[in-house]
Structure 1
Amino acid sequence: MPKAVVLGAAGGIGQPLALLLKTNALVTELGLYDIVNTPGVAADLSHIATPAKVEGYLPPDDGLAKTLKGADVVVIPAGVPRKPGVRACSSCRQINAGIVRDLATGIAKTAPKAFVLVISNPVNSTVPIVAEVFKKHGTYDPKRLFGVTTLDVVRASTFVAEVLGDFGKAPDVVVPVVGGHSGVTIVPLLSQSSHPLPSDYTGDKLQALTTRVQFGGDEVVKAKDGAGSATLSMAYAGAEFAFKVLRALRGEKGIVAPTYVNLDADKSGGDALKKEIGQDLDYFSANVEIGPEGVAKIHPLGEITEYEQGLIKAAVPELAKNIETGVAFIQSSKL
């Protein structure tokens, strides 16, 4: 049975994420790591009557290596949140890049076969950072590296249910969200919503809903008024994606979810997607089928509207720049 690990487990996302993983019966071991407070978080969670054995470590005495030993799934929410008035995490890019680089180095050395789920922002850049670290250590497998974009999907589903006037439908609403995981790189394919929008949702209304999905994090940052960013909703979304990965590891078939991956993880599907978007990008978020070995199939965009084509056209240049930023960070780093 699988061991799940949370790196950054004492933080605003890490603690609720660890709680949700502890309550999942598929997890039999839960490893927690952070620079402070991890043993206390582990002790607290260990009192919950579920199968998972919990251990928490700090940096001293090879704490990271101890946490990662035997890991099957590693989730990385570590980092600093953005502040009010700061869009796209510009104030924390460099800090988070360094944190993710160092954690990825530990994974590459101790648990190179684990599925790595990256939450730390900016995901558009941090996923390439992890990939480049793994390449330097000769342990890179694009099928096992995922950028968690599930919060965009969760928001889109919730906001569509709100438009429909029925929050009870929210768990059943499915809206594919493609592209990346910040601002204009987030492209909700509202035309493919499992629950169609009202016929009057065109023009300004459609634009407003799209913008709300793209910049939904701003609502939370503003409402928290300096006390943090989207932590609880992100923990929920991260856990939802981790649960799908755990189910796929167990051998369950047909697990499909939007996630930000290297398009070489499925060469045929990735090449087809590149043709659709009209750009030779290395990374893109799309509907991905997940299997026991990781990425099994990258799905095409499918039929999209002219409006959505415009959104993708706007997303591509920003996404390309974000990817290059992550790659360049490692090329200029000393590991």
Structure 2
Amino acid sequence: MVKVTVCGAAGGIGQPLSLLLKINPNVDELSLFDVVNVPGVGADLSHINSDSATASFLPSSREDKTALAESLKGTDLVIIPAGVPRKPGMTRDDLFNINAGIIKGLAEGIAEHAPKAFVLVISNPVNSTVPIVAETLKQKGVYDPKRLFGVTTLDIVRANTFIAQAGKAKASQFNVNVIGGHSGETIVPLYSIGASKSYYEKLSAEEQKALIHRVQFGGDEVVQAKNGAGSATLSMAYAGYRLAESILKALTSSEEVVECTFLDLDSSIKGAAEAKKLVKGLDFFSLPVKLGKAGIEEVKYDVLNQVSDDEKKLLEVAIDQLSKNIEKGVAFAQK
């Protein structure tokens, strides 16, 4: 029996994400938590004739912690898209003070009621919210770095789509490694490695630069197109589901599953210490990892030794910015 809890299930990301989870055959129980509107979302999803049972949990007041506790009890996987969405002119950093408090509260609930669960953090800014969750779980004495994932999968989804459009190919041909972080210049797509290489090399220097920029700032493209009506919710829901699906697959099969995620480069994870040296000692970084029944089994750090000279320059910028983002999250959690 596999139980999945979505914290923020009634939001713009939470609803389509919950729909995708509802129809996943590996999910036996789908638990929906939010502070508004979640009973309606739960009722709607419960009519779908998939085999998973659906339950929704709404606090009766701001002080009520029973609903969160019940939603988390016995859960195997927690996905957190909760928080305020980005609006036009708002950077991910602007969201920090609002979303950081929400994330810390949810992490405290997870520590108490689902300490062994895999935790996927979607809420922005991921570069800071993942360290907040890590520090909070450490404070509660239940932290396992193998079970904490920052969802950067949308950057991979965009990288695949955009190189396919540029090269007039099918997006399904590609699985670009996107490393670093999950905001602006911390996002580094490695187009010089794998199936994308030949397509990327056919582009002019200006086209390559424009492609990298589009991957790094693809969120702005959606925010502007929605003209005040929201941010990237559908594509983000798909991306969050893709990582969740891979984790569920690793839990239920012996097949090797590799995905990129923003993780704690803790020495208890195979390959993490080597990766940490290559990223100038950063504690968190997005890299491809091998998934297994215990979570992150191995960091595939060798991609860092394969990057092109241009990608090395991008990495230098990313590392500099990430150090500040991570420090900000840790400092918030320790206040």
TM-score (norm 1): 0.95
How far did residue 274 of structure 1 move? 2.2
Give the equivalent residue in structure 2 for 1:64.
68
Residue of 261, 278, 281 corresponding to 1:276:
278
Give the equivalent residue in structure 1 for 2:122.
119
SS at match of 1:297: strand
How far did residue 164 of structure 1 move? 1.3
Q: Provide Cα deviations, 1:146-193, integer angstroms capped at 9, x if missing partner.
A: 000000000000001101113xx1123111000000011000001114
1:177 partnered with 2:181: no
Q: d(CA) in 2 for partners of 1:268 and 1:50?
A: 37
Q: Return 5+ residue gaps in structure 1 as ranges.
A: none
How far did residue 203 of structure 1 move? 1.9
1:265 and 1:295 in contact (8 A); partners too: no
Q: Provide Cα deviations, 1:193-246, integer angstroms capped at 9, x if missing partner.
A: 423315332422111100100000000000001110000000000001100011
Structure 1 residues 201 and 266, CA gap change in structure 2 (3 angstroms): farther
* RMSD (CA atoms): 1.2
Give the equivalent residue in structure 1 for 2:230.
228
Give the equivalent residue in structure 1 for 2:132.
129
1:2 partnered with 2:2: yes
Q: d(CA) in 2 for partners of 1:25 and 1:95?
A: 35
2:163 and 2:200 in contact (8 A); partners too: no
How far did residue 276 of structure 1 move? 2.4
2:5 and 2:71 in contact (8 A); partners too: yes
SS at match of 1:191: coil
Structure 1 residues 265 and 237, CA gap change in structure 2 (3 angstroms): farther
Give the equivalent residue in structure 2 for 1:23.
23
Answer with 16-25 or 157-166: which moved more. 157-166
Q: Return 5+ residue gaps in structure 2 as ranges.
A: none
2:270 and 2:297 in contact (8 A); partners too: no
1:1-335 equivalences in 2 (<5 Å): 1-60=1-60, 62-87=66-91, 89-166=92-169, 169-195=170-196, 196-264=198-266, 266-277=268-279, 279-300=280-301, 301=303, 302-332=305-335
How far did residue 12 of structure 1 move? 0.1
2:200 and 2:208 in contact (8 A); partners too: no
Answer with 245-254 or 192-201: which moved more. 192-201
1:69 and 1:110 in contact (8 A); partners too: yes
Q: d(CA) in 2 for partners of 1:308 and 1:84?
A: 29
SS at match of 2:116: coil
The AA in structure 2 aligned to 1:326 is: G
Number of residue pairs the alignment of both structures matches? 328
Structure 1 residues 174 and 266, CA gap change in structure 2 (3 angstroms): farther
Q: d(CA) in 2 for partners of 1:90 and 1:165?
A: 35
Q: d(CA) in 2 for partners of 1:266 and 1:162?
A: 40
2:176 and 2:190 in contact (8 A); partners too: yes
